[in-house]
Structure 1
Amino acid sequence: MRIGITSPIVTRLPGTYDEWEAAAGIDELTRIAVTADRLGFHHLTCSEHVAVPVSVAEVRGGTYWDPSVTLGYLAARTERIRLATQVLVLGYHHPLEIAKRYGTLDTVSGGRLVLGLGVGSLEEEFTLLDVPFTDRGARADDALAALRASLSTREPSYRGDFFEYSDVVVDPCAVQPRVPLWIGGRTRRSLRRACEFGDGWVPFGLPLDEVTAMLDARPQPDGFEVVLSVSGLDPIGDPDRTRRRLDRAIAAGATIVGAGVRARSADHYCDQLSGLAELFGRDFGDLGTT
């Protein structure tokens, strides 16, 4: 079992972020990323929305840093930690756009990219970007197949129901022979999609017992990752509860935990990460390996 961090600052969902994050910027985020990298955490994250309607932002939040720019910057400041999009919305991009942009990120980071991908559910944003919404599931499946065929290939070719291309050069491409694809979602179909096209599943908004039941009902491929988020951790103030919550996630089927800690400042956040690492003692060094 490995532990990554659900990055603070870059996404602000109402009622879920700490007050200091509203005034924090790239310096604070970098300090946290460098600390997580030094301590051996598995990954950090950055999500995606392009433009959220004001009325929707009251529920979903309106702050979403662009993942390609953010992770590209953090790639230059870190050495080991994986850089995870959690998640890109497939419908907003052509597969070759993702292959080029994030293949470049994989190159400049030395092969540390994890592509978290999702179908998307914000119809107003699809409409704003003039991309199809009603058949987004089928389009996402085709995009995933196209990405798998294209990410690590300089001259990709693909022919599917929605995407078709050949005789093109995408250079640079990803340096990893197989970029990990983590599929986000909260339905059985998302788990099916993850098992068929991806390397892992990132469920959200589901009780742990429901996650376990869904995993039990569908066999996963060898090496398949289940990435469960555990937020609001206080490893310094309440280490016993922190450990119990992580243990429950592991028991539910997590192979990787995306941890979010409570903090009063960026410095306190770094202290909390150190506390989380200390909670696992000598075993923590293994958590940061892949």
Structure 2
Amino acid sequence: MKLGIVSPIVTANPGAHAAWEAKAGIAELAQVARTADRLGFHHMTCSEHVAVPREAASQRGGTYWDPLATFGYLAAVTEHLRLMTQVLVIGYHHPLEIAKRYGTLDLVSNGRLLLGLGVGSLEEEFALLDRPFAGRGERADDALAALRASLGHREPAYHGSHYEFDDLVVEPSALQERVPLLIGGRTARSLRRAVELGDGWVPFGIGADDLRTMLSARDLPDGFEVILSPGRMVDPIGDAEGTARRLARLRAAGATLVTTAVEATSVDHYCDQLETLAVLAEEIS
């Protein structure tokens, strides 16, 4: 089981961030990234929202650093840590926009991009960006196929139900021959989408028993990633046994990757927590 971290600072979801993060910035985020890189953590995350309605922000939070700018900076201060969008809303972008922008990120990070993608659920944001909300699932399926045909290809070509292009040059493109496409969601349809069109699944809000049932109903391809989260922050220093149990339960539920948030009172405390968490993860692997 490989372990990544939910990046602090870059989001401020109610109940899922600490007080110290409000005054922290890129210097503190870079300190966390360097520490995670040194300790061998698999990845850090960054989510996407352009503008969240005030009413929705009370549940979703209103702070969302842009993943492209954030990861471009972190790529320059780390060497091995993978950079995972969790998630990029695929319906907000043309597939070639993602192929160009995030393909360039893959290039400048020396092939460390993990492209987490979701269909999206915030209708007001779709309207703001003048993107269709109705039929977004079907459109997302076609966009994923178009994206797979584009990432890593200098002259991509695709002819689908919603997207069609050829006779184009997209340069630079991704360094990886196959950028991992990791699909977010909480339904059987999202798992189907991940199995058929992606390389992994990032479920949320699903209990362990339901997860096992859903996963057992599918013939998962070799190398398919199942990326789970403990659901709340862990405290490796203050509760080492409880943290280890929670990670072990996720592995038993089928996780191949775990992305976890860490309790902390400062950036230095956060990095100390990562030190202990790395040891715990090694012990249960």
Q: TM-score under structure 1 normalisation?
A: 0.96
3-state SS of the aligned residue for 2:261? strand
Match of 1:66 in 2: 66
Letter in 2 for 1:43: H
Give the distance between the partners of 2:185 and 2:222, measured in 1 at CA: 20
3-state SS of the aligned residue for 2:169? coil
1:234-253 alignment, distance < 5 Å: 234-253=235-254
Distance 1:282 1:248, change over 3 A: closer
Match of 2:266 in 1: 265
Alignment of 1:11 with 2:11, yes or no, is yes
Give the distance between the partners of 1:250 and 1:171, measured in 2 at CA: 39
Q: Which runs of 5+ in 2 are unaligned?
A: none
- 1:204 Cα offset (Å): 0.8
- 1:282 Cα offset (Å): 7.1
Q: Contact conserved, 2:244 with 2:284, CA < 8 A, in 1?
A: no
- 1:234 Cα offset (Å): 0.6
Runs of 4+ in 1 over 3 A off after TM superposition: 280-284
Report Cα offsets for 1:195-243 as digits up to 9, x if no partner.
Answer: 0000000001111211111101111111100000123111111100000
Match of 1:137 in 2: 137
Q: Contact conserved, 2:229 with 2:260, CA < 8 A, in 1?
A: yes
Letter in 1 for 2:258: V
Give the distance between the partners of 1:253 and 1:280, measured in 2 at CA: 16
Report Cα offsets for 1:157-211 as digits up to 9, x if no partner.
Answer: 1010000011111100001000000000000000000000000000011112111
Q: Contact conserved, 2:3 with 2:281, CA < 8 A, in 1?
A: no
1:124-203 alignment, distance < 5 Å: 124-203=124-203
Give the distance between the partners of 2:213 and 2:120, measured in 1 at CA: 24
- 1:21 Cα offset (Å): 0.9
Give the distance between the partners of 1:103 and 1:48, measured in 2 at CA: 17
Give the distance between the partners of 2:193 and 2:77, measured in 1 at CA: 34
Give the distance between the partners of 2:212 and 2:271, measured in 1 at CA: 32
Give the distance between the partners of 1:78 and 1:21, measured in 2 at CA: 21
Q: Contact conserved, 2:248 with 2:284, CA < 8 A, in 1?
A: no
Match of 1:34 in 2: 34
Give the distance between the partners of 1:20 and 1:224, measured in 2 at CA: 36
How many residue pairs were aligned? 284
What percent identity do the matched residue pairs reach? Answer: 68
- 1:283 Cα offset (Å): 7.9
Give the distance between the partners of 2:220 and 2:104, measured in 1 at CA: 30
3-state SS of the aligned residue for 1:146? helix
- C-alpha RMSD of matched pairs (Å): 1.0
